[in-house]
Structure 1
């Protein structure tokens, strides 16, 4: 899952946008940051003044954690089913449309935790949102990856062929945009040439159809959507995120700093439980993991399509139990500095993320 979700229920398409998205970095983010900072005070106060589920069970400050979910089974949901989260419990409040939206909901106090691509976490943090990444939850490895697909026979053969073309992505300012832009810059395109590549926001479930109908020239596909598209044939990858970076954890769950300060035992318990669930999925045979996912989906009554679960391949998480490596944030900080969206030294890693709640940190269990 990229940015935490497959966004099958997201609305779109929202129309084309230039890859540079100067309107996002220069207008939307600073303006939205001010709004978030203002709302965060009210939102977090609202959440902390009347914590759902009360507290006190074994000394935990907050027993019920609100979150936005998506298709498939997330690691917090797996942790709850495996019994690692008890006595805490999850409260599903709805589906999210993207990773950036998911973590913005945490800042506004609508949810207690959320996850997104690390580049999006950095941008929200740099916009003065009071968040901290606490555990990695999705990534890329030889089994789990996303590709940028073209039709067989397409004239697009190289990075330069993408100039003037349209590429579908699930959301702006997240995993797919960063990977694509890195691919173009790494292969010698100038900033002006990169700006001539157009991103079109399309729900991933519609990406293959948009490609086959030639509404876009390239479609971003991963997971079950990629595998089913490949089964139907007629497409092939131009490049993949694994081609560029190898195995790496790509996204993290975040909590607000106020949540951590006011609910330290709950925060630690949440991260410990998710870490144990990730480790369980990393070390358990694939068939057993899929069977557990199927059990969870069958029992929660959300009218989901369980057949997609058989396409699950791996966690994609590089660190044991979701441990965050410094390089998994530093690479994107450096990228944003080079791109002019951050100033050197603007983001301090010690304030951005922590492994202190993860039981596998410093050689834990």
Structure 2
């Protein structure tokens, strides 16, 4: 069982800075490859019900947790087993690859990198991204002298993890604004849990913070910050990342995977179409009832949207191709793995397409 992270315990970790060239630790990736290549399913199955071990996120309700609460999972097929929290998508999918958990989620570039390194995992449904009302942004204090991409040279940017979407966003933005790879290496990324980033920015511990979801809305409500750039201007509506399972788990438990994808897809559509106040009420009920250590539902009042623009989380090639320049330019992969290696929509019976019918699009919500 995994040990809950500092975020789960409520500790305030010391900011940890690393230069751009630092990537995932080689030993961690090697361990993931070794174990993913030989591990078999460690998930318990009793009476036809498969228990899926997973990591959560502090102060947030994940889509699988929402799906289980709403009864969207076939209780005759699967149930969830929370083993701790994470603050890192790349760490989450490595845990799935090594058999410490049964599924994990990360942004598409991290999935492509791990698959490219030989890990036997496959994406089955998108679970986060950005739509027209809810997307991530990169903030500076309102009075900050930082105005352009070039002003970021020598500055510190808070990210939740190295090798995650924040890092890819920063790289893509700086490249789009004309900075060289050598210039980009002079920008320092500082790893901090999402819950701590706004405070670190206001205290001057970092120069920029990438905020999304309820943490972004909380920062907007508090005022005093300014958006330097945002994901919507970078990508438009986009699928950010999928949930993955090990390929051996999929082969051994296809009905469990199908039940998982079915439930998560229904949770996406429920959160998209249900009045915002009701979604917030249900998520608050979930957090208050589970009583995890040092967790609060306070920031849920800023929730706006599930942020998954595709219909029932359907996956397309572009969800991975979007990150290819970052992956190849930084040496993470030599070439992007083939789509058939990266994902499958085989288990997404409700979607069948990435395009949403008119009656499946949420009404506009105020930001």
Could you state the TM-score of these two structures normalised by the residue count of structure 1?
0.88
User: Alignment partner for residue 171 of structure 1, among 142, 161, 164?
Assistant: 161
**What pairs up with 1:315-354 in 2 under 5 angstroms?**
315-344=306-335, 346-354=336-344
Other-structure match for 1:32:
28
Shift of 1:335: 3.5
The alpha-carbon distance between structure 1 residues 102 and 276, as it changes in their structure 2 partners (threshold 3 A), is same
Determine if contact 1:67/1:114 at 8 Å carries over to the other structure: yes
User: Alignment partner for residue 52 of structure 2, among 65, 71, 79?
Assistant: 65
User: Alignment partner for residue 298 of structure 1, among 267, 285, 288?
Assistant: 288
Shift of 1:128: 0.7
Q: CA-to-partner distance for each residue in 1:149-190, whole Å, 9 max, x for gaps?
A: 111221111001111111111111101110011000000001
Shift of 1:11: 6.2
Matched, 1:15 2:44: no
Shift of 1:309: 1.5
Q: Where in structure 1 do 4 or more consecutive aligned residues deviate above 6 Å?
A: none
Partner SS for 1:45: coil
The alpha-carbon distance between structure 1 residues 212 and 308, as it changes in their structure 2 partners (threshold 3 A), is closer
The alpha-carbon distance between structure 1 residues 363 and 251, as it changes in their structure 2 partners (threshold 3 A), is closer
Alignment gaps of 5+ in structure 2: 358-367
Matched, 1:125 2:119: no
Alignment gaps of 5+ in structure 1: 57-61
User: Alignment partner for residue 82 of structure 1, among 70, 74, 78?
Assistant: 70
Structure 2: distance between partners of 1:223 and 1:10: 21
Larger % of helix: which?
A: 1
Determine if contact 1:139/1:318 at 8 Å carries over to the other structure: yes
Could you state the TM-score of these two structures normalised by the residue count of structure 2?
0.88
Structure 2: distance between partners of 1:168 and 1:214: 11
Shift of 1:230: 2.8
Other-structure match for 1:101:
91
Shift of 1:15: 2.3
Shift of 1:33: 3.1
User: Alignment partner for residue 45 of structure 1, among 34, 40, 63?
Assistant: 40
**What pairs up with 1:247-326 in 2 under 5 angstroms?**
247-302=237-292, 304-326=295-317
Q: CA-to-partner distance for each residue in 1:239-294, whole Å, 9 max, x for gaps?
A: 11112111111011000000001111111111111111111112222122122212
Aligned length: 346
Structure 2: distance between partners of 1:210 and 1:306: 21
Other-structure match for 1:59:
none
The alpha-carbon distance between structure 1 residues 322 and 349, as it changes in their structure 2 partners (threshold 3 A), is same
Q: CA-to-partner distance for each residue in 1:17-67, whole Å, 9 max, x for gaps?
A: 122x2x426xx34x433321222355x3361xxx424243xxxxx521111
